[in-house]
Amino acid sequence: MSKSKTVNPLSPLALYNLVSAAGWAYILYTVVAWYPVLGQPEYYLRTKDIVILIQCGAVIEVFNSALGIVRSPIVTTSAQVLSRLLVVIGIFRLLPETPATGSIAYVTLLSAWSITEVVRYIFYFFTLSFKSGPPTILLFLRYNLFLILYPTGVASELTLIYSSLSVAEQKYSVYAKYCLIFSMLTYLPGLPMLFSHMVVQRRKVMKSLREGKTSQKKD
C-alpha cells in the first residue's frame, strides 16, 4: 500500500468508530480474562449492564444511515441494530432472569458480537481517516470473519430469545411471549437478507484483492 495520508482522523464519525471499537474491545477482554475466572452466571451479572450501554450506542448508526451520513443501507442497518436491541433491552434489561443468560450462549454471543464489532469499527476508522484505506489484513478479516461469526451470533441470539419465552409469559403476559415469538420469526427473512448482503460485498472485495495481487506481480 502507498503511504497513508491523513484525511480527518478527528472527525466526529471517525471518533465514534474509534470509541465504539474500544468499547467492544473491552467486552472482548472480559470474555477472555473474566469468563474463565468467574464462570457463569457471575460473568453475565458482571457484564450485562456495560453490554447494554455499548450496544445501545449503535442507534446512532441508524440515524447516520437514514440521513445519508454513511452509505450503509438503512434496511440492513436497522435490522441488525433492532435485533440486538431486542436482546439487550428485551432480555438483559427486562428479562434478566432468562435461563440462557447464565449459559455458554451468552459467552458465544459476546464473543461473536465483540470480534465482529472491533474489526468493523476499526475498519471504518481507517476508511475515514486515511486515503490509503484500511490495511489489507483488516479488509480480509472484515469480509471473511462474518462467515463464522454471523451464524454464531444469530444462533446465540435465538437461543436467548427462545429461553426467555416462559419468563416473559410469567413476568408480563402471554402477549409478551408471542411478541418474542414473532421477533424470532423475523429472523427467517432477515437472516438471508443480511447474510447475502455481506456475501455480495465479500465477493467484490476478494475480487479486488486478487486483482491487486495480480497487478503487483506483473509490476
| Grid coordinates of 116 | 465482529
Cβ contact 146:198 at 8 Å: yes
Q: Which pLDDT score is estimated for 91?
A: 97
Report yes or no on 133 lying in a domain.
yes
Residue 9: helix, strand or coil by DSSP? coil
Report yes or no on 121 lying in a domain.
yes
Report yes or no on 6 lying in a domain.
no
Mean pLDDT of the chain: 90
Q: Which pLDDT score is estimated for 214?
A: 53
Q: Which residues carry out catalysis? A: 150, 157
Summarize the confidence of residues 109-132 as an average pLDDT. Answer: 95
DSSP classification of residue 2: P
Residues 6+ positions from 20 with CB-CB distance below 8 Å:
54, 57, 58, 117, 121
Query: What are the C-alpha distances in Å from 153 to residues 9, 88, 135, 200?
Result: 30, 13, 25, 20
Q: Which pLDDT score is estimated for 2?
A: 34
Of 176 and 214, more confident: 176
pLDDT confidence bin for 149, thresholds 50/70/90: very high
Structural domain containing residue 187: 12-218
pLDDT in tens, 48-86: 999 999 999 999 999 999 988 888 888 888 988 999 999
Report yes or no on 145 lying in a domain.
yes
Report yes or no on 5 lying in a domain.
no
Report yes or no on 76 lying in a domain.
yes
Report yes or no on 96 lying in a domain.
yes
Report yes or no on 55 lying in a domain.
yes
Q: Which of 87-91, 138-142, 153-157, 197-201 has the lowest mean pLDDT?
A: 197-201
Q: Which pLDDT score is estimated for 141?
A: 95
pTM comes to 0.90
As for how many domains the chain has, the answer is: 1
Q: Which pLDDT score is estimated for 210?
A: 82
